[in-house]
Structure formats: C-alpha cells, structure tokens
Structure 1
Amino acid sequence: MPPQRSAGTEPEAEHPMYAGQYLLESQLGSGGMGVVHLARSASGLRLAVKVVHAEYSQDPEFRGRFRQEVAAARRVSGAFTAPVVDADPEAEHPWMATLFIPGPTLAEHVKRNGALGPAPLRHLMAGLAEGLRDIHRVGVVHRDLKPSNVLLADDGPKVIDFGISRPADSELRTETGKLIGTPPFMAPEQFRSPRQVGPAADVFALGSVIVHAATGSGPFTSDSPYLVAYQVVHDDPDLTGVPEELSDLVARCLAKEPEDRPTADELMTALKSVSASYDTQAFIPGQRVAGERAARSGRDDRPGPVGAGSLAPVRARPLVPAPRHGPDPEPTHPRDRALPGDGGPERAGSGPAPAGVPQWRWRLPVAAAASVLAAVVIGVLALHGGPDAPGSGKGPGGRPSGTAFRPWALRLEARGADAAGLPQCTYTPHELYCVRPGVLAASVDPADGKVRWSRGDAHRGSPHSTVPPVLSGGLLQVLSGDGLRLEALDPATGATRWSHDIARYGGRVTQAGGVVLLTGPDGDVTALNASTGAKKWRHAVPGQPKPHFVAYGDGLAYSVTEAGTGTRVAAVDPATGSTRWQRRLDGSLSVAGAHDGVVWFTSTDGDQYTDAVVRYDSSARSVRRVALPVPLPSSQAVVRGDTVYLLGGSGALVAVDTRTATQLWRSETSVSMASAPVVAGRRLYLTASDGRLLSVDTTRGTLLGQTRPRLGDTRGSLIGAIPAPLAADGKIYSSAPDGSLFAVDGNRPAAW
C-alpha cells in the first residue's frame, strides 16, 4: 500500500498521511532524498518512518540502493542497532519503518555538553564494538559510522542509518571515482579503493568517533575538508586528550592499513573489563526527559539543531498545522563566505562551536534525538556529505535541500582578464573548479552557476589549449596559461598556497595519489608533495626512458613506452616512485582506464586506426585482446566496469565487453569531431565541436537527447581539444565553442 496523501492546498497537503498501515503523526526531518516521520501502528507502537521523495521514486538506481538499505537494516539485529518493523521498497513512494528510540546523538550530546569522561568513553567504545560485531557478523559494512549516526538511548548506544551500507554479497557496487562517507570518519581505503572497503573501515571510523567523543574534535582536523581527506590517508592521528588507558587501542583502530586494525571481536576482548551494562545515563544528563516529552507531543522544542545527513534543520511538526498568526521566522541566514561544500548557515539558537574546532564541523544539523532513521541520504554520499562535514542540510551544490534544479549557462570571466576559448572543469561535491585561457581558476556553484571566486591569468597562452584543474593534496592544482608554472590554490579562496616552475618539464605533469609527477628532459621523474610542494623523490623509472604518466584514481600512475613491436607498461607508486609491476604486451597500446588491479588499453595499427581493446589483469597476469570488427580512426575511450566505449573520429560509437570479448553494439553519431565520452549510470555523454551535448543509452547505443548548438562568435576559428563533459549528482556540465559553461539535468535528456 503506497503512502496516502492528504487533501488541500497547503504545502503540508503534499505530505503522505499513511505509509502502509502506519499513521504518520509528525515530521521529524526533511531532506533532499526523503522525509522521516514519527508514526504509530494500530497497536500504538511508535515508529520512525522514512518516505522517499517522489522525484527519486522513479529512479531505478535509487530504488536499488533503497532496497539495499532495507535489506542491510533487516539483516542487522542486535542490542546496539534498531530493528526494522516494516518496509515496502516497491511502493509508489518507497518507505521503511523502524522502531522509534528517543535519545540524542553522540554529535548532539558532545556539542551541547562537551567531551565524555574516561568511564563513559569506555562504555561507549565497548557498546560500539559490540554493535559493529553484530553488523559485521551478518556480512554488512556500515561505511558511514560517525557521531551523528550513534544514538545514545537509555539502554546503550545504537548504530543507525544504513543508507550507504553494503552487504558483502550485494550486486550493487560503488561506482569508480565516487567516494562514500564523511572524510573525518572515513578510512584511508575509502579514498584509495572505495570499491574494496571492508569491516576494517568501520573499525577505523570507530576510532575517529571515540577521539571525537573524548576531545570534541576528530583525529584529523583542518578548515578544509580536502586537507582532512589528505590527512586521513597520509598523516598520523592526533590523539591529544584521549585517556591514556584507551589511546593505544584507539591508535590501533586508526592504523593506515586495514589488516593492522583489530576486529570488532578483538576490540571487545580488549575492553572486557568494561561493565556490561553500557548505561548511557552517566553521560546524557538532562536529555532523556526532554526527548520523551518531545516524542509524546510530536514536537521537538529542545534547543539546538534537528536533522541529519541531508536533513534540513526543521522542527518536528504535525501534518495538519495550527492556524498561523504571523509569518514564520527565517530558519537560516546567508553566510559571508562558504568553504567548498560548506553546510551553510548555523541554525539560530544552536550556539557557537566549541573552541579550537573548525567551524565547518559545527555549523551543521545533527541527528534528530527522536529518530533512529534521521539521516535520509541513501546510496552514494558525496565526498564530504553528511552532518559531520560540509554540505549538511543541503542538496548538491550547497543549495537548500529540495530546491529544484534549473539548467544554467554562464561565460566564465575574471576581473581584468581577457578570457577566450573553452572552459575546462573538474567536479567535487558541491563545487565546480574551472579554468579557461585568461582565467587561472574559478569556483562555480554547480547548482546555479554562480561564480564564488575567480582569478585572472596574465599568462593566457593559446586560446585553443588548457589543462583541466585537479584537486590533489587538498589543494586545487592549475597550470598557468603559458604552461610554465604550477599553482596550488586554496579551494575555498583561490589564494596561492605554493607554486613551482615547471618550464623544463615541457608539460609532462601528472597528478596521482596526492603527488605531482614531473618528467624531465633526461627522463628523471621528480615527485612533489601536492599539499606542500616539497620534493618527495627523484629518479628514473626502469624500462621507461621518458615516462608520460596517466592516473585513474586507483592510487597508481601508469606509463607506456614502445618496445619493438610491443609496448612496455609500468605501474608506479607515486608516493615512493617504486615500480609495482611492469609488463611487455603485444601491439601499440595506449592506456584507456584502470581500476581494481585491471588496466584497459586501446591497440592501434600502422594506419593509426584502433583495431582492438586489451584487458590486462595485473593480479592474474592475464591478457585478453578483443578485436574490433571494423577499426576506428582516431578513437577516444572510456571504461565503465568491464565495458570499454570508443568514439571514433568518424563519429562511430562502439561498446565492447572485455570480460566476454564481444562487441555489444555500434552506433553512428554523425559527430566528426567530439570530446572524449563519459559514462554515468546507463547513459553516455559527449560534446560535439558545435557545442551540442549528446546523451546515448549505454545498453542499446540509441540517442536519448541533445542540446542546441553553441557556436563561437568568430567564424572560421579553430577549435583545439574539446573538453569532455562532467556527469555528477544527476547533472551534466559541459562547455562550448561560444565560451559558455552550462549545466543540464542528466535525468531528462529528451527535454534538452
């Protein structure tokens, strides 16, 4: 039975009155993905019911992730998790009901009352260890354990929100290039290999949660979420303030390598001296009575923020509102300056941040004290999404949750700069960073196209060639227009943190794993720390006389060089310069993509036609070559899973399954010059030389839609390489010869 809607013309009329047989009494929180309601069963049992927004109900991928969330929550049943009472992921508007448990979250408690003492800290750690043991025993990895996902109930801590958890046997996998979780509480492997995250990542998060509970701050802190991500991977944790009797155990939890961390069972053994009662009353003074009173009244009148994940800071309210006698106060106010993906305004009355804690951690809504399902973010969270990091309470682009996206277009400029040519951009959650000849760098709000900051470039160079910016080491790495300097900019302000003269390297600059790789004319490679600009190492790469590296986010840098009638391929660890593996393969090969230990190549014949796709598994040392029935001239390739999509210079688009060694389909696009293709979900996107953005169905190769042409003003002008479009959060960002940068809804290509 789908949720039933109320009648009327007020906004509340759009809220469902029932989910299945459960009456929805009041709203606990609302966000971009759905709404969490306080509900009652026919017997009077109080429940927390999550109902998905209509706009996501029709998305097959979203439904699949919601089914996964329901399945994960049902599999987990223990004293330290909340049971699922009922769910219908197949309803018109999918919903899930869990037992309602009053109590504040750990994030809320620490914010209001300060850090925990040694005794309650030991109780908390033992309770979380037992909760993780129950979760891991049924084959589930939570992947987003953090203070706002720990509910402090009467009978002990509860681990809540399985929106991005993954059963070990799930067929849904993290998409390449997407990171899941909240940086201060993510494990290093969640950044390095997000598709290979296991139970040890939850143990790392537990260590970070305990540090937060003990000190009011995490083991890795910075004003920039990007620097936090870098610190998690490379720096030692700061355990100052953690009780001595727990510091060694917490340090083991925060080991960089998963195999060096204890299991949840081992943690429980180490904490066996802790009382089995796990009484949280000692460290939530004054909270329980207020929570119960709020639950009985269907309201939450306690001071402080309400909501979690992408929940907006709203007050629980009845579905049928009382008559209004005046305008509601504005719940938020604009910020003077926002960090990339900043959570935005602080809720009135929430109080200041604790001293010494970066503001971006505390201007954020935290979990509703009355709801074990407060976080409504489902599926893939953005890099720094969630209530413990920037972006809380907002949808993509840092906009208020629920705000409808509208296509936009802009001309990227900078004060005093003579800008020309096509913009090139990189996407991070809640931020676009772009360059253009004449514009050294700019920060653009992906939700509405507003430029947050921009810097002109006195060394514009050629209007036909720019290099896309890269976010590495927590900084925005850009090249000057003349290609002679590398600038590392603060992503929040655009200010230069460090710069390096790269004139001698002839443009052979690659970013990989937080390291800048510079190949000199003598073939020696110099590696710089992307965060500081300091030199890490310098030496030649064996078997690679003059390496030109490419990287695909798997922690390695790849280089190829001719070797007679074959190609010698090297995989290099950018942190140390050591060669992980090297192999000679037949044919003239170029790297097309890499993930999970597998590298894909395109093979070129003597006439420079792509005649095959090659799949090399570095673990099994196996090679599979898939010949193309009809070779493609001047092809560009993109890899998604085991499928390689190739776009030829003649406009032919081909899909090749390298696991089954078959060509899936071939389509003629009539686009004779285009960008490299990109793939998101079941759609492929490319930009034509006339500025059209095209969308193609990846299962059949059929055209789904295209935008209008955006030709340049100068007739007969030459166009260099066309930047590939960016696909992120259901939106597509592209540039055109008229110099514009524009965004469209990727879910509706037929309406372009």
Structure 2
Amino acid sequence: MLEPLDASAVRRVGPYVLIGRIGAGGMGTVHLARREGTAGPAGLAAVKTVREDACLDTEFRLRFRREADAARAVRSPFTAVLVDAAPDAAPPWLATEYVTGPSLAEAVTRHGPLPLDVVRALGADLARALRAIHGARIVHRDLKPANVLCDAAGPKVIDFGIARAFDGTVLTAAGMAVGTLGFMSPEQLDGTGSVGPASDVFSLGVLLCWAATGRGPFDDAEPAAVIARIAEGQADLRLVPDGLRELVGACLSVAPNARPTTDALVRAFDPRAAGERPGALFARSEEPFPWPAGVRELIGAYEAKTREVVASAPLVPAVPSAAVPVPAPPDGPPRRSRTRVRVAVTAVAAVLAVTATLVGVRLLARDDGDGKGTGAAPSPSTAVRPTAPPDPVEPMANGGGLGAITWAYPEPGTRGAERPKGWKPWHATAGAHVDGCVLGVDLLVCSDKKGVEARRPADGKLVWRHAAPVRAGGAVMTAGLSGDRVYLPEGGGVLVARRSDARPLAHWPGVAGFLPELAVAAGGRVYVAYEGAGGGGLPGEMLFRAYRESDGQRIWETKVKEAYPNSMTPAAGRLYLAGPGGTWQLDQRDGRLRVVGERTATDLVGPDGTFYKWMKDDTTQIRDGGTLRVRGGIPGRPLTADASTAVSLYETQTETGKLRELIGSRSGDGTVLWRTLWDGTGFMDRGQALVVGRRLVLINGSGVETRSLTDGAPIAFVRPASWPDLSDPEVPLTLVAGDVVFVVKDTGLWSVRLP
C-alpha cells in the first residue's frame, strides 16, 4: 500500500512533485506525485523512474521512446493513460494516471477467489481493455493479476507500455521472452518472436482461471514442467466453475488462431453485448462493478490511505531538486532466452530468470514481488491528453435550416491556417449524397447515405471507409475529429477509432430511442448530439452528451425538445442549438440550459459567441453571447462574421427586379461600415459566405469570389472546372484550410484555391 516519503527522499521528477512511494519492481520505482501547479485529484499521477543501470545505452532509450509513444495511443476506461514521459532524462521517467485501489493479485490473495459473476464481469472488462490496446497496434505481453488494478468502477489494465507494436516494428529485441512464467503463451516461450494479440488472450485465460480458483492452470513446482504443460496445452481446469470453464479453455488453445477474439469474449461474458454486431458495445457499464464486499473495503482502505498521504505531504520549494534517487539493483542482472519451448533442459535457466525478474524491457513494472500490487493506475478524473499540434476542426454546413449555426475560422499561426502539404486542385465523387463533413489538417471526413469516408485534403484520395447503418430517410452521423482520434457512428452509439485507418478503439453506448447525429470535439471534450424518435426538430426530446476525450468518461447529458441535433455548435464556452422551438445555449462545463431564445428561422453565431438573430422584418439583431441581450442591429439576413465584422445580405424588390446588397457592419453595435451591390447567381445563405483572414469568400453558382472585409471591394473570382449547380436552396458544405476551400454538394467534392 502507499507509503509516505521519508525526510531524505527527493521530492521532484520533471514537472512532478513526489508525495508518496507506491512500490518498486525490477526496472525502477513508482511514486505517487502531483503535477506542479495543479490541485485536487486531477493533478495526481503515478510516476516511475527507471533504474539507471538499466538505461545507459542508446538502444534502451530508443525503445523507451517508441514504446511510450505507442502507449499514448491507448485511451480507454479500462486501461491506464500514459500522461507524460521523458526518455532522455537522467534517469528516464514516465507518468501514468493514478487510482487508489489494490492490484487483483492483492485482492484475491487477501479475500480469496472471486465469485463466478464477478469473474465474468472481470473477463468482459479485461477483454475490452485488450481490445483498446490491440486497436493501437500494441500487444501487452505481460497480462497478469499484478498488472490489473481494482478501481471502484471496475478493473484497469496497466503496464501495456512494455509491449511491442505489431506493425512490423520490433520494439523489443528479437528472441527476448517478455512476460511472467505461468501467464505466458506458447508463442512467447518458444522464442520465435511471433507474438500477436492472441497471446494476450491466452494470458487472459490464465488470469481468469487464477481469479476464479486462486491457482493457475499450469501451476507446478518445477519451472521446466510449467513450460512443457503450456507448450502441450495441459491446462488443469477442474476447479474452474462450469459457467467459465469452456471460455477459459478456448483462450488457452495452443494454436493462436484457435483462441477467441476480444470481441467474442466481450459478448460471451457480458449478456448486454449478446447479439450486438461488431463494435457495438465496448464501454463501461453505468452500474457499479460487482466487487465482493471484502474487495470494496480494501479499495476504501486505499482511498483513505491516499487521502492521508496527500494531506501530510510537506510543501516543496519551487527550485527543482538536482537528482532523482536510483533504486538498488535486483539480485542479479536480467537474462535473455532464445530457447525453443520443447528443449526443456536448456530452457530452465532462462525461465528461472523470467521468474525472478521479468526478462526484457519492463517500463511500467509496479509489482513489489510480494503479490500485493501497488495501487497505481488511471482514474477518469486524472486523465491528461498528450500535447498535440493544433488541429482546428471546421464545423460542417448543412442546408434546409438544419446546419451548423456558426463557422470556424483557421486561427493564424496554427496548422489549420496553412495549405495542405502537396495540395493541388481536385474533384472527387462520394458513394452517395453527403450529409456532413469535418476537416482536419490531414483528413477530410464526410458522412453520406451509406457510411463515413475519409480523404486526403491534398488530393482527394480515399484513405478509409467506415460502413454505417442508416435509418429510413435519415442521414449518417457527422463524424468528429481530434488529435489521433475520429468519432464515428456505431449502432446507437459512438465508435472511438484511430484517425489513420478507422481501427476501433472504444465504444460509447447510446440510449434506446436515440440515434447519434453529430460529434464535435472541442477543448478536450467530445460533444455528441442524438436525434430522438421521429427526427430532429419534432416535439420529442433530443439528447446531448459531453465525454472526456482522454478516457471516454461521460461528463453530462441534457435533453432538449424540438432542437435540431446537427445544429450543435461550440462557441465561447457554450453549445448553441437551433430548432423550430427556439435557440438554446448549453454550458459546456455541465450541460446546464443557459438561455432559451424565441422561435427563429436563420440565426448565426460568431467565433466570439456573439449571436445574430434574423427577424421577420428582414433585419438582424446583434445580441450578447452570454445573455442574448440586444446591443445593436443590422439590415438583412446574417451570412457570416468574425470578431470585428458581420456580413449580411439585404434584398429589396424594385421595378426592374430584385436588388441584392452585401452589407458589412461592426459586430459590436451594428454600425454599417460598407455596402456594395452583389449580382451573383443562385441562392446565398450561411455556409456560402466565409471569413478567411480579412477576406470575405462567397461561394455560389458562378464560382468562388473573394472580397475585402474592410470595404467589400472585389478582389478576385474563379470558376473551377466541373463546378456544381448551386442554384437550388440546398446549401453546399464548405470548409477551409489555409487558402484552400472545400465544397461538397450532393455526391460531388471540389477543392480549389481561393482567388
């Protein structure tokens, strides 16, 4: 259990202040720490310093860096999130989330084998954890009771940063046996290096047998006998309960391809997942995890001890300490084994080395060697997303009054203000009518009537396609983009997938009667809008949820009647919604309904949160974003705005026909700055007028036109080849990256340079 630091202990590692000792393993020491400048549980982390004598060579630091980078990609409620790492520090260190709970090894050792229903729930959640790890192209290679921590919400897997990425890049030296004897798969022991996800499934089978019976299926006093029994598939499952024995036996198949997949295990262990299609139910249940009373009490004791240690930790001066203590080395160096499984005589020495101290590079080791675990693992409240380059995501524009009510502008100095690398003009055709798009610096993701497809913004080439079911007459959810994740429709919920290839990583279940319509990532959160029964805008309730990006923890949910779910737009700390029932603001922090506006037809929200409301007399009120109090007005219908200038379209009927004016007004009070006649063809609405820098961009049936935002004077005009017909009221989808505009209409996609 967590121990206070003594008076002579060093108190700082990188940006972390050490406040308690969690434990030590063969590769280093783990401490409870708080990131400098933070307070409360959110600042806590488990910081591990690696033994100096284990990391003197360049090869080690290279593996450390690569494995840490791989571990960052794993984000799941069932695994530890890697918060930070410093492979070049002296000595190297890394930080993961911290949770106050014992290891599974300690829980079972103290309170005995777990009941059948608990083991089945454990199996489902650990399979979910492996699914997330494998989704990041990582193999754990050392799944055992000491690497599973018992959080009040359920089990969490740690130490997957040791793994080898299985995309062909070897991160551990060839021939090294990484793992713990008794929990290692046959392919781990034979030294061939052909270790994949099925190896972790084998270890899971061993772990579940151990949790249900208190002993492993291959236990033997002689290490060589353990090796032989694993290689020959001689598992002793006589004590495993009937409702578990068949599944455990399948996991322990000698042939990797004969073992069940993690998806199949989730469905087999969890009745809620039965009958669901792939990827449909892989999130933590909202019901409390069924830990036995003794384990719950042990978790409570850990929580109390953590509070005590944190409260008693002395203040640390702002000047960092000069060094970090180096733990004493273990009894004898690690040893490598290149031995084939069936050569038992030569294998014994290597196995003894594996038993004494895990062979290979173990970056996240937390086992004291006493079977008691350490209490270091992630907590949903402590998740910190690794820093990534700015990646502005443009909101999508939809026609028919159902579109986003504001437009994002690439911020100067960010990658979104740059032209996509290698860009050239292109035109492509989608598989069906496109309903919504979202743009990142390296990916254009569009949802059509059949599914979601991603293209390269530079040339329009298809990168991947995600099939999704579509309700009759409905649309596919518009995806969300953030960092290395993409958020896709999956049944009634949201699939968290890898951005590069849409490989599933996690699933956020929905609610019966609601279907996801839009996902928007902003400020470390993902906001999901769900359409209720009958469709958007109807009298029924629409559902809106907020999730934490780092671990998928749901933060809040709110229901609003008569809203258009795909109008949800983040701006200035609020989520704006529109619908026939009015205009709403939801607080991004807690989902509280802040303001309800009157029924409206065409409204606009500027990037600073200023609200522009179109009135029946063809004037637009300028309202404060926080209170919706009127602070001015402008003539005509609002088209677009930035923080200083709003542009509206004013139409009057004369004897010779309709006269149309573009009017630029000061966004603060509505003072008219300029007026200019506009003779463009076709319908013009929000989404066809954009502000890019200090230019007004107009997209219509004639082509693409740019004007000065200062005085409305024309700058340039271009009509690209194969330009779409924009004469009908269906507003095209328009997005911008640097000086390139992307236009989507029906099944066509165009990318042209702004003139």
Question: Fold-level match, TM-score > 0.5?
Answer: no
Structure with bigger RCO (C-alpha 8 Å, 6+ apart): 2
Indicate the structure (1 or 2) with the bigger Cα radius of gyration: 2
**TM-score, structure 1 normalization:** 0.41
